[in-house]
Structure 1
Amino acid sequence: MKVLLTGATGMVGSLVLQQNLDNQDILEVVSLLRRPSGVQHPKLTELVIKNFLSLEEVATFCQGIDAVYYCQGVYTGTVDHDLFRQITIDYPEALAKIIKTTSPDARFCLLSGAGADRSGRSRVAFARDKGEIENRLSNLGLGAFHSFRAGYIFPVTPRQEPNLGYRLLRLLYPFIRLFGEGSSIRSTELAEAMFRVGLQGHTNEILENKDIIAVIR
């Protein structure tokens, strides 16, 4: 299989990348990213992208793709809303349109978020934006589309948290888990589930947090 990945330097994307590199069924990995990851592997081709809205130059690398793992994103509150929408909606849509042309049978796995609202009626901008990109990709006519609505993602590998809110969530994680499988997931669990769905497919287009966990159980 040949796969394409975005966000390989991020918490989840780096783990999805490793899943693909370690699996013997994956023969080639194309990684689109904003800066080099530092990972070297005979399967891996890294393409540093300056403008994710203009991907025509990488279209030849997108041919024959079996699965796409879209893990690129940005945390709420770290950029203004216009840029958040561009990264959340415009970037994945631009890539999906390329994939539809070059690899029409590919499975497209999108890292979305819990609470994504496809109706557009939510008062929360994050929920509306996540729901909007889900709608756009669902209606694009891809080979298959799966949206992963993860709850709080606990970073198994220690990291510099993006803000105070995430530092508090990390500290409170043992208590958050008490609310059940709909509330949170470990980064390693999410990465493994995304990898499996990209490899094998799934009956659901939308996978809520509990559905994601069920994939690896």
Structure 2
Amino acid sequence: MKLKVIITGATGMVGEGILQECIANPKVEKILLINRKPTGVVHPKVTEILHSNFNDISPVLEQLKGYDACYFCLGVSSVGMKEPAYYAVTYTLTLNFAGALAAVNPGMTFVYVSGAGTDSTEKGRSMWARVKGKTENDLTKLPFKAVYNFRPAFMKASKGAKNIPSLYKVFSVLYFLRAVFPNYFLTLQEVGKAMINITINGYPQHTIAVKDIALLAREQAD
């Protein structure tokens, strides 16, 4: 099975890593990037659409038809943000984008990059975890073929990555701790492999924890 995939957030570290894996993987034949600013990536597999308002993708919706999956890597840190602003970017924008996409691609698999510690009850003390939990819960109600909420923890950037936040550069030295704490560390290559595998083969649950991502990546590599 050859996949046609949409990736958002490819100008960030996570999206860039997923893009790199999709380019390298022979099971992916076509990649459509939707960004606010250009990535600068030139490759025969890659087409890019620049669109500023992710709350309203109606102007580009026709160009999004016929894809097998969307890897939604767009997101912001909650640090320094009040809940209404974080909710608008994390929940409202994501659901507006996904809802419009589901209307034209009901056979699509939608993969949302969430985070370890997300609160599925939507009632906990952590603001970001509640908002992420509501986002996950409501995404699964959309009429896609399948929705999977990836919950990675620390992710090691791929070799040659350009969009690495300074904090990640500092903490990358801690990756050796994976041998002791395997449920807290992944590589972005593994996350990309897991997304491709889950698109092709599915998975029995919507919430994809670190251990699930690692398992899916190993299966894809075999």
The match for 1:128 among 119, 130, 152 is 130
- Post-superposition offset of 1:162: 4.7
- Of 133, 143, 149, which aligns to 2:145? 143
1:156 offset after TM fit, Å? 4.1
Closer/same/farther in 2, CA of residues 213 and 79 from structure 1, 3 Å limit = same
Contact 1:12 1:191 in 2 (8 A): no
Correspondence 1:53-132 to 2 at 5 A: 53-77=55-79, 79-132=81-134
**Counterpart residue identity of residue 140, structure 1:** L
- 1:76 CA drift (Å): 2.8
Alpha-carbon separation, structure 1, partners of 2:59 and 2:140: 25
Residue pairs, 1:45-56, within 5 angstroms: 45-56=47-58
Aligned to 1:211: 212
After TM superposition, the structure 1 stretch with the greater mean CA deviation from structure 2, 14-23 or 44-53, is 14-23
Structure 1: 4+ residue segments shifted above 6 A: none
Q: 1:170 to 1:79 in 2, by over 3 A?
A: farther
Contact 1:16/1:195 (<8 A) preserved? no
Whether contact under 8 Å (2:119, 2:132) holds in the other structure is yes
Aligned to 2:38: 36
Which secondary structure state, in structure 2, belongs to the residue aligned with residue 216 of structure 1?
Answer: helix
TM-score under structure 2 length normalisation = 0.87
Indicate the percent of aligned positions where both proteins have the same amino acid.
30
Q: Is the contact between residue 102 and residue 144 of structure 2 (CA under 8 Å) also seen in structure 1?
A: yes
Structure 1 runs not aligned, ≥5 long: none
Between the aligned partners of 2:204 and 2:110, the Cα distance in structure 1 is: 14
How many residue pairs get matched?
A: 214
Given that residues 120 and 132 in structure 1 are in contact (C-alpha distance below 8 angstroms), is that contact kept between their aligned partners in structure 2?
yes
1:200 aligns with 2:204: no
| Closer/same/farther in 2, CA of residues 46 and 156 from structure 1, 3 Å limit | closer
Determine helix, strand or coil for the equivalent of 2:33: strand
Q: Is the 8 A contact 1:12 1:188 kept in 2?
A: no
Partner AA of 2:165 in structure 1: E
SS at match of 1:27: strand
